[in-house]
Amino acid sequence: MVNVEQARFTDGYIALDPNAAHLNCPGANVAILIDVSGSMSDDILAVKNSAASIIDTLFGTVDAPIASRLSIITFNDTNEYRTVLPFTDHASIADRRSAALAGIESVEILGGGDEPLNAALLSSLRGDAGSWDAGGSDNRIIVFTDEPAADPELRPEVTALATNILGNGAPQSTASDSSANNAFFEYFDSPVTETREPLPVTVSAVAIGSRASTLRDLQSLVDATGGQIFTAENAAQAAAALVDAIEAPPANAPQDALLVVGDTNTDSTSDAVLQTRLESLGFEVSIVEVIL
């Protein structure tokens, strides 16, 4: 495969140009639901101390930015849950990073004990922290807790809504400030077909400690919504487990369908180099068409 200029997807296309001036990469819609009951104090402190690493995982770097959206909801006792950070819909990724960092640092322990996990999940799924953007790469919720849900009667509603979420249908497009020397792709938000269907929301969980009832409850939740469970024995492992949960692709993530368009009048690009680069970015090359 030589002289490749474009890769087309259902929601737009990217220019495969090594000399591209900037990178524009849609990211995931991520909601983090944090248990702020008293037993979580050391774990939340560990997350705050690792906030910079968490932000980089979500939003990338200056040279390789990711246009993710983050929201934070905390919960701690019966009917006690609130939005700490609405989805970061700022025009620049730098502003999203700043808002996300401030949101993480603002999380406080509030006490309590009967954690309304499912009520907090419904709050997120219903858009209390902002709408789920259908233009994102995927929709995911990450639960961070050491206790099972105290409101199990709401779980069927959670799983039903998570698998039938409706986004706002608007393609996501954010200007980038990446360096010309390091960018590989240039993204153009010009759909080649109708906007793809909104993705369901997957729920993953970071389980703190080894309490059997917590692990059973969270395993049941993630199994029903296509997510994964991550464990941390103590506060020292908590932040790393949260980063792992953010980095992990959804268990039911669809395979990327790729259409490549080439032009014989430009310099050649080797098959191996292009394929390796695409795969390193998480794409699975399944359909390729070269136009000469």
Q: Which residue has the tokens 């999380």?
A: 107
Domain ranges of the chain: 27-183+197-254
pTM for the predicted model, two decimal places: 0.71
The CATH architecture that domain 27-183+197-254 belongs to is: 3-Layer(aba) Sandwich (3.40)
**For the chain, what percent of residues have pLDDT higher than 90?**
56
Lowest mean pLDDT among 92-106, 121-135, 242-256: 242-256
Q: How far are the Cα atoms of 1, 6, 270 from residue 265, in angstroms, in the given order?
A: 14, 14, 15
The answer to whether the beta carbons of residues 199 and 138 sit under 8 Å apart is yes
Task: Write the burial class of residue 24 (CB in 10 Å: 0-12 exposed, 13-18 middle, 19+ buried).
Answer: buried
Question: pLDDT at position 22, please?
Answer: 33
Comparing C-alpha atoms, which of 210, 211, 246, 209 is closest to residue 228? 246
Q: What is the pLDDT of residues 25-63, one digit of tens each?
A: 789 999 999 999 999 999 999 999 999 999 999 999 888
14 forms beta bridges with 7, 187
Q: Which amino acid is at 136?
A: G
Instruction: Name the amino acid, one letter, at 172.
Output: Q
The Cα–Cα gap between 40 and 144 comes to 9
Q: How far apart are CA 140 and CA 251, in angstroms?
A: 11
Cα dist from 291 to 6, 7, 131, 155, 264, whole Å: 10, 12, 39, 50, 8
Distance CA 221, CA 201 (A): 12
Measured between alpha carbons, how far is 73 from 124 in angstroms, rounded to an integer?
A: 7
Both tokens of 150, joined, read 């105290």
